[in-house]
C-alpha cells in the first residue's frame, strides 16, 4: 500500500494492511485495492502545537476493529479502536501474573468528563525489547501473537489487547504516550 500526503511528496510504502499512516497536517488518501480505508483528516492545529511536535487525532474517524498508525516525533503511535471482546479480554487479565503489572484502566486517559473510553487504546508502537515495530491483527484477518494484540517479529514478543507484554523477551508493556482529550473525540499527543 502506498500513502500519499498532500502537503508533501512523501510516499510511504506499507507492506502490511494493519495500518495507515497519517502525516501531521495532511489529508491522507490510501489506495490499496479492495480495502475500504477511510479518509482521515487531522483537525486544525495551532502553529505552537506543531512547533512543539504534538499531533491531534480525531478518534471518531477510527472505526471499530481498526488501527491507525500515526507518526509522532519520528515514532509510530498506534490508535486502536478496540472491539468489546478485546476490551473484555484486556480487563479480565489478572495483573499479578504480568511481567509489567498494569490494569487496562491504568493505560487509558479520561475524557473531558472524567470518564475512560476503553474502546480507544493509544500507545507508542515500539517494542520495549530492542525497538522493532510490533504488528497487530486487523479485523481478525491476520491474527498476530498469542494474546490477540500485537506481536513483535524481531525476537517474538507477544502483547495483549491492552498492549501489555505477555510472552517473549520484551521487559515492559508498550508505552502510553503523553496525551489528553481536547474535545469529546479529539486527543492531542505530545
Ligand atoms: S525488538 Fe521486539 S522482541 Fe526484540
Annotation marks residue 158 as catalytic: no
Is the pLDDT reported for residue 127 higher than 60? Answer: yes
Please state, in angstroms and rounded to a whole number, the distance separating the CA atoms of residues 9 and 23.
Answer: 11
Number of domains in the chain: 1
Residue 147 Cα, ligand 1 centroid: separation in angstroms?
Answer: 16
Q: How far apart are alpha carbons 179 and 9 in whole angstroms? A: 29
18, pLDDT greater than 70: no
Average pLDDT over residues 76-100: 96
Beta bridge partners of 2: 13
Which atom of ligand 1 approaches the CA of 130 most closely?
A: 1
C-alpha cell at 103: 490494569
- The pocket around ligand 1, CB under 6 angstroms, is made up of 127, 129-132, 152, 154-157, 168-170
> Among 11-25, 53-67, 161-175, whose mean pLDDT is lowest?
11-25
| Residue 47, domain extent | 2-189
Q: Measured between alpha carbons, how far is residue 15 from residues 19, 21, 167, 170 in Å?
A: 10, 12, 25, 24
Segment 157-165 mean pLDDT: 97
Of 176, 141, 160, 17, nearest to 87 by C-alpha is 160
Give the pLDDT band (50/70/90) at residue 163. Answer: very high
* CA-proximal residue: ligand 1, atom 3 (nearest): 155
Ligand 1 test: best mutation among 130, 163, 166, 173, most atoms within 8 Å of CB? 130
> What b/e readout covers 102-138, taking b as 16+ CB neighbours within 10 angstroms?
bebeebbeebeeeeebbbbbbbbbbbbbeeebbbbbb
pLDDT at 36 over 60: no
47 pLDDT higher than 90 = no
The more confidently predicted of residues 26 and 92 is 92
Give me the CATH number covering residue 104: 2.102.10.10
Mean pLDDT of 11-27: 39
The pLDDT assigned to 53 comes to 85
Find all residues with CB under 8 Å of 190, minimum gap 6, and list them. 52, 53, 54, 55, 72, 73, 177, 178, 179
The reported pTM is 0.75
144 falls in which pLDDT band (50, 70, 90)?
confident
Could you tell me which of 65, 91, 72, 107 has the C-alpha nearest to residue 189? 72
Q: What is the mean pLDDT of residues 34-51?
A: 40
Asked whether the predicted pLDDT for residue 95 surpasses 60, the reply is yes
Amino acid at each position: 500500500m502506498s500513502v500519499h500526503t498532500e502537503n508533501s511528496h512523501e510516499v510511504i510504502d506499507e507492506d502490511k494492511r494493519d495500518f495507515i499512516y497519517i502525516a501531521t497536517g495532511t489529508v491522507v488518501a490510501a489506495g490499496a485495492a479492495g480495502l475500504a480505508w477511510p479518509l482521515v483528516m487531522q483537525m486544525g492545529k495551532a502553529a505552537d502545537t506543531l512547533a512543539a511536535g504534538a499531533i491531534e487525532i480525531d478518534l471518531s474517524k477510527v472505526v471499530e476493529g481498526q488501527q491507525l498508525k500515526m507518526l509522532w516525533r519520528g515514532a509510530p503511535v498506534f490508535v486502536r479502536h478496540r472491539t468489546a471482546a478485546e476490551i473484555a479480554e484486556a480487563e479480565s487479565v489478572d495483573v499479578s501474573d504480568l511481567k509489567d503489572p498494569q490494569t487496562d484502566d491504568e493505560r487509558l486517559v479520561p475524557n473531558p468528563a472524567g470518564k475512560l473510553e476503553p474502546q480507544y487504546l493509544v500507545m507508542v508502537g515500539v517494542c520495549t525489547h530492542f525497538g522493532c515495530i510490533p504488528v497487530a491483527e486487523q479485523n481478525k484477518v491476520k491474527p498476530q501473537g498469542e494474546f490477540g494484540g500485537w506481536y513483535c517479529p524481531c525476537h517474538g514478543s507477544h502483547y495483549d489487547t491492552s498492549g501489555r507484554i505477555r510472552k517473549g523477551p520484551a521487559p515492559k508493556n508498550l508505552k502510553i504516550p503523553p496525551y489528553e482529550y481536547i474535545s469529546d473525540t479529539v486527543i492531542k499527543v505530545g
